[in-house]
């Protein structure tokens, strides 16, 4: 495998979703390629960090949803105002 091929399947391998032959080929390449090895180490660390985090509580999720809704509402209003400005109205 080359670096481009590894880049295409690396996340799948790290997530345990690749077949054994692909995992073996990626592992062989990563062992020999410093750049891909470093990239793999970074992805593993990110994955491990995320696994250690707790799920956000319902209050936090509610605030995030409300914030997202305000963005959607504000975006729709801006689109309408922008469209009106384009046609000279």
Domain assignments of the chain as residue spans, ordered by start: 1-53, 57-89
Running DSSP on this structure, what letter comes out for residue 24? H
21-64: pLDDT as tens digits: 999 999 999 999 999 999 999 999 999 888 888 887 899 899 99
User: Cα separation of 20 and 29, whole Å?
Assistant: 14
Confidence of residue 79 (pLDDT cuts 50, 70, 90): low
User: Is the dihedral angle over the CA atoms 44, 46, 49, 51 positive or is it negative?
Assistant: negative
Place of tokens 């690396």: 10
pTM reported for the whole predicted model? 0.57
Which residue stretches of 3-89 are H helix?
A: 3-14, 20-32, 34-52, 58-86
């Amino acid at each position: 495998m080359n670096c481009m091929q590894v880049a295409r399947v690396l996340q799948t391998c790290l997530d345990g979703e690749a077949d054994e032959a692909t995992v073996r080929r990626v592992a062989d390449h990563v062992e020999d390629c410093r750049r891909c090895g470093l990239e793999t180490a970074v992805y593993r660390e990110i994955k491990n960090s995320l696994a250690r985090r707790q799920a956000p509580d319902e209050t936090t999720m509610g605030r995030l949803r409300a914030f997202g809704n305000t963005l959607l509402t504000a975006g729709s209003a801006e689109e309408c105002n922008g469209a009106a400005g384009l046609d000279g109205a």
